[in-house]
Amino acid sequence: MQQMMDKIKKDGGSNPGGNIADMMEQTERDIVNRQITQETMKRQQDIITKLLESEKAEREREQDEQRKSNEAKNQVLSNPTQFLEYKRLREKELELLNTVSPSLTPYYKQKVNEYFNSVNK
C-alpha cells in the first residue's frame, strides 16, 4: 500500500477521497479489538473501491504510454533504378510502334498519332 502511495506521489498525483493507509489502520484496529461494526465494513468497501480505481488509473496510464507515437522516420520507398529501367523500355516500345507504320487509312493514322502524342505527355 505504501509503495503504491509513494508511486502516486512520485508521479505527481494525489490520493483522491482520503488517505487509504489511515483507513486500513483504523480497520486493522477494529479487527484486533474485535469491534467489527457496519462502519468497519463500509470502510473496508471504500478501501477496496479506491484500490480498484487506483489500479484502473495506473493501467490507463500504462496504455497511454504505449499509445505515444514515434516521430515519423524518413523512408525511401521508391526504387529509382527499376523505375528508370521501366521508363526506358516503355520509350523503346513506343518508338518501335511509332516507326513501324502499318498501312492504315488517313483517319486511323491520325488517331494513332493522337494516341502517341497523349501517351508521351
Q: Judge whether 116 lies within some domain.
A: yes
Asked if the structure places residue 35 within a domain, the reply is yes
38/89 same-domain check = no
Residue 17: its pLDDT value, please? 45
Distances from the Cα of 60 to the Cα of 19, 34, 67, 69, angstroms: 22, 39, 10, 16
Same domain for 99 and 47: no
Rounded to the nearest integer, the mean pLDDT of the chain is: 77
Please count the residues of the chain.
121
- Determine contact, residues 21/5, Cβ cutoff 8 Å: yes
Considering the domain architecture, whether residues 55 and 24 belong to the same structural domain is answered as yes
Q: Has residue 72 been placed in a domain? A: no
Phi-psi region of 17 (alpha: psi -120 to 50; beta: other; left: phi over 0): left
Segment 86-112 shows an average pLDDT of 80
- The number of folded domains in the chain is 2
Q: What is the extent of the structural domain holding 115?
A: 81-120
Question: Residue 61 corresponds to which amino acid?
Answer: R
pTM attached to this predicted model: 0.42
DSSP-derived 3-state class of residue 7: helix
| pLDDT tens-digit readout, 30-89 | 888 888 889 989 988 988 888 888 888 888 877 766 666 666 667 666 778 888 898 898
57 and 12 in one domain?
Answer: yes
- Which residue in 3, 81, 79, 15 sits closest to 47, CA to CA? 15
Domain assignment present for 104? yes
With respect to residue 8, please indicate whether it lies within any of the assigned structural domains. Answer: yes
What b/e sequence results for 91-113 when a residue is b if at least 16 CB atoms lie within 10 Å of its CB, and e otherwise? eeeeeeeeeeeeeeeeeeeeeee
12/54 same-domain check: yes
